Amino acid sequence: MERSWKNQIWRFPVAGMKQNILITGFMGAGKSSVARALAELTGLFAVDTDDLIESLLHCSIKSYFVSHGENAFRRLEQRLANWLASSVDHTIVATGGGFFQVQGLMELGQVCFLNADFDTICRHLHVCAGDQQTVMRPLFQNLEAAKKRFDERLPLYRQNAHHIITVGTQDSMDLARQIQDILRQNGLLAQ
C-alpha cells in the first residue's frame, strides 16, 4: 500500500536538525538495498549519493577514479553533502562507502551505520563464488587492499554514526524494519 511521507510525523528533539535518514557502511554492506526497503516501509523517497554524483559526470565513478583520482571524487562528495545540507530533507540517503568522511555528516540527519563484517560483505558481493560484483567498485579491485581499507575505516564508521545496525544473515527488509524500530523507539519517526 502506498503511504504518503506526510504520514511520517517526525519528532526530532534537536531544533534545526535535518530530518533525513542516512545509511552508511562499507561497499557491499547493503546500503542501497536497505534504503529502497526503508522507502517502501515509510513512503519517503530514497536517493543514492553515488547515483547523484554519476548524474554530474560524463562517465562512471570507476572511470572518474581513473581519470581524476580519489581526491577529486572526495571533493564531489563534499559538494554533494553541502547540497544535501542546504536543499534536502525528509529523505532516505544511501551513501557511497567513503561518504561518511564528509564534513557535517552528522548534521544531515540520523546516520545509521550498517555494520557488516568483511565475510558478510564478500558474501553479498559473491566474491567467493568468483561471480564478483566488485568490477564496478574501484576500491574493491584487490581483496587484500579492500580488507585493509575496511579495517582502517571500521572505527571511523562507528564514530560517525547515531545508530549502529549489525548486519548478519537478515535480508534488506528485515534490516530496514530494524532501523524503523530504532528511529521510532528514539521518538525520531512516527509510530
Ligand X SMILES: Nc1ncnc2c1ncn2[C@@H]1O[C@H](COP(=O)(O)OP(=O)(O)OP(=O)(O)O)[C@@H](O)[C@H]1O
Ligand Y SMILES: O=C(O)C1=C[C@@H](O)[C@@H](O)[C@H](O)C1
Q: Which residues are annotated as a binding site for substrate?
A: 50, 74, 97, 153
E strand or H helix at 116, and its extent? strand 109-116
Measured distance CA(17)–CA(12) in Å, rounded:
7
Letters for 121-160 (x = contact with ligand X by CB under 6 A, - = none) are: ---xx-------x---x-----------------------
Nearest approach in angstroms of CB 107 to ligand Y is 21
Q: Is the dihedral of CA 61, 122, 149, 38 positive or negative?
A: positive
φ/ψ (deg, to 5) at 174: -60, -40
Nearest approach in angstroms of CB 25 to ligand X is 6
Query: Which residue, 28 or 183, is less far from ligand Y as judged by CB?
Result: 28
Measured distance CA(28)–CA(133) in Å, rounded:
9
Q: Does 98 engage in binding with ligand X (CB under 6 A)?
A: no
Query: Which residue, 48 or 176, is less far from ligand Y as judged by CB?
Result: 48
Query: Which residue, 10 or 180, is less far from ligand X as judged by CB?
Result: 180
Q: By the 8 A CB rule, do 142 and 67 touch? A: no
Stretch of 55-63, 66-74, 94-102, 143-151 contacting ligand X, by CB under 6 A: 94-102
Nearest approach in angstroms of CB 7 to ligand X is 25
Measured distance CA(137)–CA(164) in Å, rounded:
24
Q: By the 8 A CB rule, do 57 and 64 touch? A: yes
Interacting residue ranges for ligand X, rule: CB under 6 A:
25, 27-33, 94, 96-97, 124-125, 133, 137, 170-172
